[in-house]
């Protein structure tokens, strides 16, 4: 429970007590009037969600032919968007689990909404492989081991099945972790709600939590173990996602660097998304005392570190292509840089190699506006990275006779934008109805929580 000395930049604004952190965070949920800005943002997000509904309905009616994918580029947007979303989710788990185990106290005020981000991003990600089947109700027996009338089982030697297990486990464990963290806060909302209906609703979620020391004893152990389980899990998820590519024999995919490179890319993309959400959240809800400049600066540093790992991945891909001596590998990297889609590679390098270098400078790391701009560039860059990996590798394989080009259709873009709508809709509902910052964990970092013997 030892807090940082006062000379260090604070992770919580001065003058806060148990009561003030409780009241401030609970008031975001229990306030009488919803701010107008929330309605505006929600309306935009909800509009995009309708676009998703239309896109998916049309897809189910007409089939995947409404998208631009075709042999040789059979994966295209569906997998690009899947990997992009699932990667974004990783920062939430990193913040809630790995930084907890590393005793990084600054994680406390950002873990709750980062975990929510994880859940919503995984929901968006999971949608793509499912709708990519075109007729998902027919495809279930390929993916899930359930006793069916045909008497057949999935092929467990395929990375695509590993992916189903990894992603569904990840979604379940993230939801459990998030819900366990919410229980004491739901009890706080139950105790503070004045409306009887609201009180009953939060009371059902809190399940009768009363803050008993005996309960906390089991609770803390369960929370710690969940963090310990989530840590290898999160590393496994993007590793398995990278196996979808690396196990195939295609030049541009078949590389041993993929697992660590994908995991670092996921954390990098995820922290960019956390910044994208945290900066407007703290501004519009006046949470500067809880999500301080220190938090933003730390996230900027993580962004820089992970970008360097990702760039190491790019470098190794190019080096190994040359060092392998394989004609196909050499052609792959040349085609990636100077082929038909060459511009995407250079934009990608601008986004993921050059832009994050601003994070070396404290001036940029501590200004919310700059960080937000960098985060948006990184969001685009990480999407392009997956575009480059998926499309440029597939469209030029071994035989020139099977070469082709890919261009997305309106419905490709509509589906992608639609999932952004789904993500934002869920996030807007989350900040309106659930505490966006963990209240009980914030109580542990206020000065009052230090016992006398530790205070001096």
Partner 1 sequence: MTRPLYGLLAEFRSPGDLVRAAHEVHAGGYTKVDAYTPYPMEEVIEALHLGHSHVPKLVLAGGVAGLAGGWGLQYWTSVIDYPMNIGGRAFNAWPAFVVPAFETTVLFAALAAVLGMMALNGLPQPYHPVFNVPGFATASRDRFFLCIEAADPKFDREATGQFLRGLGAEVTEAEE
Q: Which residues bind partner 1 (CB under 8 A)?
A: 17-19, 22-23, 145, 151-157, 161-162, 165-166, 169, 172-173, 176-177, 179-180, 184, 187-188, 190-192, 203, 207-222, 225-226, 229-230, 232-233, 236, 240, 243, 440-441, 443-444, 448-449, 451-452
Nearer to partner 1, 173 or 310 (CB): 173
Nearer to partner 1, 12 or 59 (CB): 12
Nearer to partner 1, 80 or 240 (CB): 240
**Inter-CA distances, 48 with 41, 55, 130, Å:** 11, 11, 20
Nearer to partner 1, 3 or 22 (CB): 22
CB contact at 8 A, 293 and 115? no
Closest distance between partner 1 and the C-beta of residue 180, in Å? 6
Closest distance between partner 1 and the C-beta of residue 96, in Å? 13
* CB burial readout 430-445, b (16+ within 10 A) else e: bbbebbbbbbbbbbeb
CB contact at 8 A, 442 and 25? yes
Closest distance between partner 1 and the C-beta of residue 434, in Å? 15
Nearer to partner 1, 20 or 326 (CB): 20
* Rg, the chain, Cα only: 23
Closest distance between partner 1 and the C-beta of residue 84, in Å? 22
Of 77, 81, 106, 79, nearest to 94 (Cα)? 106
**Inter-CA distances, 336 with 253, 353, 393, 398, Å:** 12, 16, 8, 15
Closest distance between partner 1 and the C-beta of residue 4, in Å? 18
Nearer to partner 1, 74 or 228 (CB): 228
Nearer to partner 1, 47 or 232 (CB): 232
Peptide bond before residue 72 is cis, with ω within 30 degrees of 0:
yes
3-class DSSP state for residue 154? coil
Residue 266: alpha-carbon gap to chain centroid: 8
- Match 């005020």 to its residue by tokens: 109
Closest distance between partner 1 and the C-beta of residue 172, in Å? 6
**Inter-CA distances, 19 with 184, 190, 211, Å:** 15, 16, 16
Q: Which two tokens stand for residue 205?
A: 């979620």
Q: Residue 51, Cβ neighbours under 10 Å: how many?
A: 20
Torsion from C-alpha of 341, 347, 352, 356, nearest 10 degrees = 180
Closest distance between partner 1 and the C-beta of residue 209, in Å? 7
Closest distance between partner 1 and the C-beta of residue 151, in Å? 7
Closest distance between partner 1 and the C-beta of residue 2, in Å? 13
Closest distance between partner 1 and the C-beta of residue 239, in Å? 9
Nearer to partner 1, 14 or 325 (CB): 14
Strand partners, 420: none
Nearer to partner 1, 408 or 435 (CB): 435
CB contact at 8 A, 411 and 66? yes
- Match 């230090």 to its residue by tokens: 450
- How far is the C-alpha of 272 from the C-alpha of 265, rounded, in Å? 11
Q: Is 165 left (phi over 0), alpha (psi -120 to 50) or beta?
A: alpha
State which H helix or E strand residue 349 sits in: helix 342-349
Supply φ then ψ for residue 274, to 5 degrees.
-60, -45
Closest distance between partner 1 and the C-beta of residue 252, in Å? 21
Nearer to partner 1, 173 or 390 (CB): 173
Nearer to partner 1, 308 or 449 (CB): 449
Of 241, 257, 244, 248, nearest to 397 (Cα)? 248
CB contact at 8 A, 391 and 406? yes
- How far is the C-alpha of 5 from the C-alpha of 335, rounded, in Å? 54
Closest distance between partner 1 and the C-beta of residue 176, in Å? 5
Nearer to partner 1, 41 or 184 (CB): 184
């Amino acid at each position: 429970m030892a807090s940082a000395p006062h000379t260090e930049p604070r992770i919580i604004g001065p003058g806060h007590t148990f009561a003030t952190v409780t009241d401030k965070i609970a008031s975001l949920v229990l306030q009488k009037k919803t701010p107008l800005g929330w309605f505006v943002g929600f309306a935009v997000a909800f509009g995009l969600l309708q676009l998703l509904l239309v896109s998916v309905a049309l897809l189910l009616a007409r089939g995947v032919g409404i998208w631009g994918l075709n042999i040789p580029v059979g994966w295209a947007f569906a997998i690009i968007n899947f990997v992009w979303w699932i990667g974004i989710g990783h920062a939430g788990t990193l913040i809630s689990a790995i930084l907890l185990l590393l005793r990084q106290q600054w994680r406390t005020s950002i873990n709750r909404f980062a975990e929510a981000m994880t859940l919503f991003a995984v929901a968006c990600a999971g949608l793509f492989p499912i709708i990519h089947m075109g007729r998902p109700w027919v495809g279930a027996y390929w993916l899930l081991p359930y006793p069916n009338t045909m008497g057949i089982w999935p092929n467990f030697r395929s990375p695509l099945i590993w992916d189903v297990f990894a992603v569904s486990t990840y979604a379940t464990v993230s939801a459990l972790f998030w819900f366990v963290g919410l229980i004491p806060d739901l009890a706080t909302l139950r105790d503070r709600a004045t409306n009887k209906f609201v009180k009953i609703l939060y009371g059902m979620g809190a399940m009768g939590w009363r803050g008993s020391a005996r309960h906390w004893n089991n609770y803390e152990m369960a929370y710690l173990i969940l963090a310990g389980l989530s840590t290898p899990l999160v590393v496994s998820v993007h590793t398995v996602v990278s196996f979808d590519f690396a196990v195939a024999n295609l030049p541009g995919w078949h590389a041993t660097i993929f697992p660590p490179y994908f995991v670092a890319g996921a954390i990098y993309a995820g922290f960019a998304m956390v910044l994208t959400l945290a900066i407007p959240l703290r501004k519009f809800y006046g949470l500067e005392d809880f999500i301080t400049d220190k938090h933003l600066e730390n996230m900027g540093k993580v962004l820089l570190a992970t970008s360097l790992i990702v760039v190491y991945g790019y470098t190794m891909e190019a080096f190994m292509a040359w060092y392998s001596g394989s004609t196909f590998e050499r052609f792959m990297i040349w085609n990636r840089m100077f082929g038909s889609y060459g511009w995407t590679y250079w934009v990608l390098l601008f986004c993921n190699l050059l832009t994050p270098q601003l994070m070396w400078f404290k001036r940029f790391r501590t200004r919310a506006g700059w960080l937000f701009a960098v985060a948006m560039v990184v969001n685009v860059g990480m999407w392009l990275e997956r575009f480059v990996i998926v499309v440029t590798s597939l469209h030029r394989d071994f035989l020139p006779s099977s070469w082709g080009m890919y261009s997305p259709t309106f419905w490709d873009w509509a589906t992608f934008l639609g999932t952004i709508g789904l993500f934002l809709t869920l996030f807007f509902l989350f900040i309106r109805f659930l505490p966006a910052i963990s209240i009980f964990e914030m109580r542990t970092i206020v000065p009052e929580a230090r016992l006398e013997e530790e205070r001096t």
